[in-house]
Amino acid sequence: MSVVAPPVPPRPDELEALIREARARQRRRWMLAAAVVALLAGVGLGTEAIVDRGGPAPSSGPGPTVAVRTGKKCGVRVDDMRIVDSAGRTLYREPGDWTSSYPHPSVVQCSGGTDWVIWDNGAASSQEGYVGARSSDHGRTWKLVFAESYFGVNAPHELDSYLGPWTLRGPRTADFTGWCPACGTMKAPYGTTSLWVTTNGGRTFHEYKPAALVGYQPVGIRVSGREVTITAKGFFNGVWRRRTISLRTA
């Protein structure tokens, strides 16, 4: 009779490497799933669109606000997870334990001397790994404003489960849409849409939950004075539908 020796447990460094590899494989599955959902959503929107109010889908309105993905027009340069100056020196690094080998797309908007940078690090378990930072001195110094806490980033604020389109009204006022897919029902599977407004540079936010957008996901925002117009999409009875509403903020 032969006796087989028990397997040797992995060393701590080997165990850590295995954990990192497992996390990387899981992130790849998350990103692939998110890409498939986005592709299906884009195809579905061409099927049918019902708009409560006429006119084209809203986007960021005219004025001092600039919305660009490169940040060049705002004088801000984002290099993956870093905000850098003209010499390539790091001014701010996105917090969080993110996989560095995967893309971290960001969006930059500015108004006057104020700049916002928001990163999107993918999604998991009905949560999106968004991180938002703000500068009030033309990009020289930065402060973390909000993040989805599910991914371990400790920020002063957390908005909705997913972050939607957003825009600036000025140096201190900004409007962010959000989306909670897990808050849905069988009849309205896309959950709820929210609007988060700050008028003091991100120190505090006021949340609005438009009942007319239950079951919808925000896809566009436009601001005129205190009136915010949100366009959203929803999947009902096998058909994609579009709805546009306006609400007045405080």
- Determine the pLDDT at residue 159: 96
| Per-residue confidence (pLDDT) for residue 13, from 0 to 100 | 53
- 13-22 burial, b for 16+ CB within 10 Å, e for fewer? eeeeeeeeee
Cα–Cα distance for residue pair 231/12, rounded to 1 Å: 51
Whole-angstrom Cα distance, residue 217 to residue 46? 16
CA dihedral of residues 82, 151, 100, 108 (deg, nearest 10)? -30
In angstroms, the CA 124 to CA 216 distance is: 19
Q: Which two tokens stand for residue 139?
A: 């990009």
pTM greater than 0.75 (yes/no):
no
Residue 249 is predicted with a pLDDT of 93
pLDDT at 122: 86
Do 150 and 125 contact (CB within 8 A), yes or no? yes
28 class by beta-carbon count within 10 Å (0-12 exposed, 13-18 middle, 19+ buried): middle
Length of the chain: 250
CA distance 39 to 45: 10
Per the CB < 8 A criterion, the answer to whether 211 and 219 are in contact is no
Q: Cα dist. 23→12, 34, 162 in Å?
A: 16, 16, 21
Give me the residue spans of the domains in the chain. Answer: 12-248
The confidence score (pLDDT) of residue 45 equals: 32
Strand order from edge to edge, sheet including 239-248: 217-224, 227-236, 239-248
Residue pLDDT, tens place only, 136-192: 999 999 999 999 998 999 999 999 999 999 999 999 999 999 999 888 777 666 789
Per-residue pLDDT of the chain (250 residues; tens, 9 = 90+): 544 454 455 454 554 554 455 455 544 444 444 443 343 333 333 322 323 333 333 333 333 334 444 567 888 899 999 999 888 899 999 999 888 888 889 999 999 999 999 999 888 878 899 999 999 999 999 999 999 998 999 999 999 999 999 999 999 999 999 999 888 777 666 789 999 999 999 999 999 999 999 999 999 999 999 999 999 998 888 899 999 999 999 8
The model's pLDDT over 200-212, given as tens digits with 9 standing for 90+, comes to 999 999 999 999 9
Euclidean distance between CA atoms 178 and 170, whole angstroms = 20
